[in-house]
A and B are shown apart, each in its own frame.
Chain A
Amino acid sequence: GESVGLHLPTLSVQEGDNSIINCAYSNSASDYFIWYKQESGKGPQFIIDIRSNMDKRQGQRVTVLLNKTVKHLSLQIAATQPGDSAVYFCAENSRMDSSYKLIFGSGTRLLVRP
């Protein structure tokens, strides 16, 4: 079936460096994508979203890039901080049967080295 997956299950970066977390999606009809951050013991926290009519969107220290040609989504975190250590999920709004559903990938753990 349609799915969202991640290339790297764990990413380790040096504090202050930039981080890039990648995500591949398989449903070319998906039109809305979201990145979430999940810290231990907490629910996923919304970071940034992007609609399919855009290819780039920037937030505070974060940028999401969408490449519809290759069905690829990435999250860039500038000047990574220890507080950025968490699991990051991408999610796609995918049409299934007669309704839309937000489908989550399996997650990438980001570890920030001091």
Chain B
Amino acid sequence: GAGVSQSPSNKVTEKGKDVELRCDPISGHTALYWYRQSLGQGLEFLIYFQGNSAPDKSGLPSDRFSAERTGGSVSTLTIQRTQQEDSAVYLCASSLDGPRSPLHFGNGTRLTVT
């Protein structure tokens, strides 16, 4: 597709379970980002990939959060032992060559932890 694709679009999980969120960036974009957006709030930076490496993981809230990117393309964000405070929309974005070019966002995965 032409844009950033995220799946699933919605995920409801029980507290304590692990979840995996997927992002397919725009083809040819070398940089990939994960952000988190709580209801009515701004965007909280989580992690940034350049190619397959993550030069900036500073936004990951705890060691329950991890992310990987393979083949310079698809990325997965994994949240282990989910907590209710993890409920949010998780947004993925990609850009052509890093934070000095526009980020193009997917529509996000809405995660609800019950």
Contacts and interface: CB of A to CB of B under 8 A. Distances in A.
Contacts of A100: 98-100
Contact of B55 (A99, A105, A106): A99
Contacts of B41: 106-107
Contacts of B106: 43
A105 B55 CA distance: 23
Interface of A: 31-32, 34, 36, 41-46, 49, 89, 93, 96-107
Given A45-B105, A101-B48, A89 B42 contact: yes
Interface string B79-114: 000000000000101000011101111111000000
Given A99-B48, A107-B42, A93 B100 contact: yes
5 closest Cβ pairs, A-B complex: A43-B105, A104-B43, A106-B42, A100-B99, A46-B102
Contact of A46 (B45, B56, B103): B103
Contact of A103 (B45, B91, B93): B45
Contacts, number: 59
Interface string B17-47: 0000000000000000101000001110100
Contacts of A49: 102
Given A43-B106, A44-B91, A93-B99, A102 B45 contact: yes
Nearest to B56: A99
Contacts of B4: 43
Contacts of B93: 43-44
A43 B100 contact: no
A44 B43 contact: yes
B53 to A, nearest CB: 12
B13 to A, nearest CB: 20
A96 B33 CA distance: 16
Contacts of B56: 99, 101
